[in-house]
Amino acid sequence: MAIDVKARKRLVPAYPKKSRALRVPFDILVCIFQVLEEDKRTLASCALVNWDANQAATTLLYRSIVFEPPYWYGYRQNDLEEKDSPLLQSACLPRNARHVWHFEVKGYLSLRSSSSKNRSVLSQILSRAVKFFPNLQSVALLPSSYYTEIFKGVLEVLSEHSKLRELSLDGSSINDGNLAALMKIGGLRALTIRDPPPAVVELFSEGWLERSSGSITKLHLEGICTAIPSHVLCAQLANLKHVHTLSLGYTGAQSDLYLFPTLEHMPTLRSLSLQYDEESYGIPETHYQLHLESLTVRYFGPQTRADSDNLCDWILAIISSSPLEELHLIDDNGEAINSDTGGEVKFHRLVQHLTMRHALTLKVLQIPNGYLDADTVRNLYAKCIRLEELAFATSWTVLLSVAPSTYHLHVLSVNLRVVDEVNDLPSLSSSEAAEIMKRMPSLRSLVVNQSKWKGWWIRMNDSDRFVRIAQRIC
């Protein structure tokens, strides 16, 4: 029986035509996936969605590679392979290696490489990985413990990377065996050395920093820096005319005699971080002519009013002529301070200066262990109207009663202290957090004694009324 063509078409099931899906541009996908940049597992799953998602996700997935072997005492030495870091092994593939911009080594490498054979294997793994990354721009070799010869091959390979711009080293990796490889590395924009050893002086004297003097903009010498004499350090800083960010750790006694006259002749310096110690920095006789936008001071909690006054006078001498936007005071003894011990030494003199000289420029003030009373807080809120981030210590009453008049404050962190009027510190309830945020319309984050709240406004249904909501995050 013959079937006509029309009937045959009716017997064939009709499938819907394939509709071409709307392709999301690569740049937009990258912006979306940037939210997951720290979540490598989720980012790897996103790379399996389709070809477009794979291209965007892998760009971020391999941008920063961290090699940090797990800390096992029962680890078998003959198992030391790249499986300690699966992401590193995948990043070494040709299709992924071009995406790597930053490579970092962390962890306890000495436990994994006690024998010379395993040290050689680990050194080969790291140097081969660095060699595979053609677009490498930043390297951080900062493990907690390791054998110094492990990084010799890595440093030799780094000298061949023309795109390398940022280098972070532990002081132990700067030794006689690595000096030749380090001398070949130049063109850096940022250099970080943790606990610089005496060998750094030899590097400096042979002109290592001068190789990057035209490009380096950030220099961080962290930890104990007494191995570098103050006059040698300042002689090197004088040649760095383009540095805008400088960090120095503990530099030894009477460092201010050489340091600040040198800093005054660094016209591009805008951000400075120093470790305060009475032996290193005495009471200044004059104010320094600096033009800082950001100052970070690490100190060891003053125990008396005289100690606090000396610290404040020293800070005032640094910032007096600066268009200061950020001030961070970090107490290295902060963990030892308990909220039940009462209000510690105050920084009212410093805050008073800020409200008088830097009220129109100050945006960030971080003094988490500096106690401020009600009048000081009220004056700070009234004068520093551009404040965006603020951290200080105060009493429960001040937190609930004093509200800022600024509409720029986004982050407020308060460490509560017991001050006579109460015998115990109550916990902040959701309604109290919402009430505080209601009095601060622009506030997005509130931290009270490590408890974090986030706030936002929501619109009520079918009305123009908005309600302030506060949700506890941790």
Mean pLDDT, all residues of the chain: 83
What pLDDT, in 10s, does the model give residues 285-298?
788 999 999 999 99
Q: What average pLDDT does range 266-282 have in this prediction?
A: 89
Could you give the CA distance from residue 378 to residue 394 in angstroms, rounded to a whole number?
Answer: 12
Q: How confident is the model at residue 155 (pLDDT cuts 50, 70, 90)?
A: very high
Instruction: Write out the chain in H/E/C secondary structure.
Output: CCCCHHHHHHHCCCCCCCCCCCCCCHHHHHHHHHHHCCCHHHHHHHCCCCHHHHHHHHHHHCCEEEECCCCCCCCCHHHCCHHHCHHHHHHCCHHHHCCCCEEEECCECHHHCCCHHHHHHHHHHHHHHHHHCCCCCEEEECCCECCHHHHHHHHHHHCCCCCCCEEEEEHHHCCCCCHHHHHCCCCCCEEEEECCCCHHHHHHHCCCHHHHCCCCCEEEEEEECCCCCHHHHHHHHCCCCCCCEEEEEECCCCCHHHHHHHHCCCCCCCEEEEECCCCCCCCCCCCCCCCCCEEEEEECCCCCHHHHHHHHHHHHHHHCCCCCCEEEEEECCHHHCCHHHCCCCECHHHHHHHHHHCCCCCCEEEEEEEECCHHHHHHHHHHCCCCCEEEEEECHHHHHHCCCCCCCCCEEEEEECCCCCCCCCCCCCHHHHHHHHHHCCCCCEEEECCEEEEEEEEECCCCCCEEEEEEECC
pLDDT at 197: 92
Greatest mean pLDDT among 144-148, 277-281, 321-325, 422-426: 321-325
Domain containing 35: what range?
A: 24-61
Determine how many CB atoms are found less than 10 A away from the CB of residue 471: 12
Q: Rounded to 5 degrees, what angle do the CA atoms 449, 451, 454 make?
A: 130
**Does residue 265 carry a pLDDT above 80?**
yes
* Inside any domain, residue 28: yes
Please give the model's pTM, rounded to 2 decimal places. 0.85
**Does residue 359 carry a pLDDT above 90?**
yes
The radius of gyration of the chain's CA atoms, rounded to the nearest angstrom, is 28
Lowest-confidence range among 65-69, 166-170, 200-204, 335-339? 335-339
Q: Please give the backbone phi and psi of residue 472, each rounded to the nearest 5 degrees, phi first.
A: -80, 130
Q: How confident is the model at residue 117 (pLDDT cuts 50, 70, 90)?
A: low
Q: How confident is the model at residue 368 (pLDDT cuts 50, 70, 90)?
A: very high
* Inside any domain, residue 33: yes
Q: Is 225 left (phi over 0), alpha (psi -120 to 50) or beta?
A: alpha
Q: How confident is the model at residue 138 (pLDDT cuts 50, 70, 90)?
A: very high
pLDDT at 48: 87
pLDDT at 343: 47
Could you give the CA distance from residue 203 to residue 176 in angstroms, rounded to a whole number?
Answer: 10
Q: What average pLDDT does range 424-445 have in this prediction?
A: 80
Check residues 285 and 246 and name the one with the higher pLDDT.
Answer: 246
Number of domains observed in the structure of the chain: 1
- Token digits of residue 74: 């029962």
* Inside any domain, residue 49: yes
* Inside any domain, residue 384: no
Q: How confident is the model at residue 73 (pLDDT cuts 50, 70, 90)?
A: very low
Check residues 20 and 404 and name the one with the higher pLDDT.
Answer: 404
Residue 52's contacts (CB-CB under 8 Å, 6 or more residues apart) are 23, 24, 26, 29
Q: What average pLDDT does range 437-466 have in this prediction?
A: 81
pLDDT at 321: 92
* Inside any domain, residue 256: no
* Inside any domain, residue 47: yes
Q: How confident is the model at residue 22 (pLDDT cuts 50, 70, 90)?
A: low
**Does residue 413 carry a pLDDT above 80?**
yes
* Inside any domain, residue 45: yes
Residue with tokens 């002109």: 207
**Does residue 459 carry a pLDDT above 80?**
no
**Does residue 266 carry a pLDDT above 70?**
yes
* Inside any domain, residue 345: no
Residue 129's contacts (CB-CB under 8 Å, 6 or more residues apart) are 65, 67, 88, 91, 92, 103
Q: Which of 322, 395, 384 is nearest to 359 (CA)?
A: 384
Q: What average pLDDT does range 308-320 have in this prediction?
A: 91
Q: What average pLDDT does range 266-278 have in this prediction?
A: 93
